[in-house]
Each structure stands twice: as C-alpha cells, then as structure tokens.
Amino acid sequence: LFSPKWCSSRVCPSTLSSAVVSRIFSSHRRSHGQPPQRVESMAMQLAAERAEEEFRLERPNFSGTWDLVRTEGDLDRFLSDMGQGWLIRNGAKVLKYGVGRVVVECQQDGDDLKFSKVLCDPRNLSKSQVHITVGQGTVSFLDDIGRLSSTSHW
C-alpha cells in the first residue's frame, strides 16, 4: 500500500547486503595469509556499515490520516486476482474503488502500528481495525473485500 520513497534517496538493503558480503569475504582472505585490504576499501566498508546502521535506525513514520485520493492500474483485474466475483468488482467500480470515501488513520510507536480504516461500502458504518507489529509474522483482518492477510518487515 505504501511506497517506500525514502529508499530511493538512501542506500537500499540490496546494495548493503553485497557490501556486508564483501566484508565477510575480505576478512576471510586476511585470516588466510592474504595481504590486508587497501585503505580505500576499508573506508568504503565503514561507510557501508554506517549506512546500514542508519537504515536500521531510521524507519518511516506512517502516523497520521491518509485519504484515498486516486487509484491507478487495473483494479478490476486486481480484485479478480484476489478472488472477488463480478458483483463485488462492479460494486467497487460504481463506488469508484473508494476514492473520496476511504480514510486510514495510523498510530505508530516504533514497530507497532495500529490502523483504523473507514471502509468503502457506505452501508458499513464500522471501521476496520488492524494492529501490526513489524516483523512479528502474518496478521489476518477483515476488510471490504473479505478476510485479508498481511506480513510486514522493514
């Protein structure tokens, strides 16, 4: 649902993992009689380790109220892929897939996120409540289109 745009301006985990792997291999070479690493590569490793630590410490903060203002892509196919029948898909289309109606409120404390969502169906006045602890496995919850499961990690 959320696009981690903050990752594009920082070193992403896939880049960091190769730096960590190269560090492991270079320390393995040193311990087997190879000459020590050059200063430049050691500086690069330190920079990669600092970036990795910063990435681990800095988490996005989703706290606030999020309004659905537009949708993109083939939502009919998306709903079909999720097992929704013709009636639900056409009802969602009539309701403009919740644009202007769906509101998600998020409270975040570190890895603990609590979501409250105004559902798309105007006949349903209740809100969907979801509590997620990032990295703690799969959470199931009820939404407009039925029971969903979510697995989260940073």
Which residue is listed with tokens 């799969």? 138
pLDDT per residue over 7-34, tens digit each?
Answer: 333 333 333 333 333 333 333 344 445 5
Q: How much is the pLDDT for 146?
A: 79
pTM of the model: 0.59
Distance in angstroms (rounded) separating the CA atoms of residues 116 and 119: 9
Q: How much is the pLDDT for 16?
A: 37
Q: Which strands make up the sheet holding 112-118, listed edge to edge?
A: 64-67, 103-109, 112-118, 127-133
Q: How much is the pLDDT for 136?
A: 92
Give the residue ranges of the chain where pLDDT is below 70.
1-40, 54-57
Pick from 120, 122, 87, 86: nearest CA to 103: 120
pLDDT per residue over 71-81, tens digit each?
Answer: 999 999 999 99
Q: How much is the pLDDT for 77?
A: 94
Task: Give Cβ neighbours of residue 104 (< 8 Å, ≥ 6 apart).
Answer: 65, 66, 68, 115, 116, 117, 118
Are the C-beta atoms of residues 42 and 50 closer than 8 Å to each other? no
Q: How much is the pLDDT for 73?
A: 94
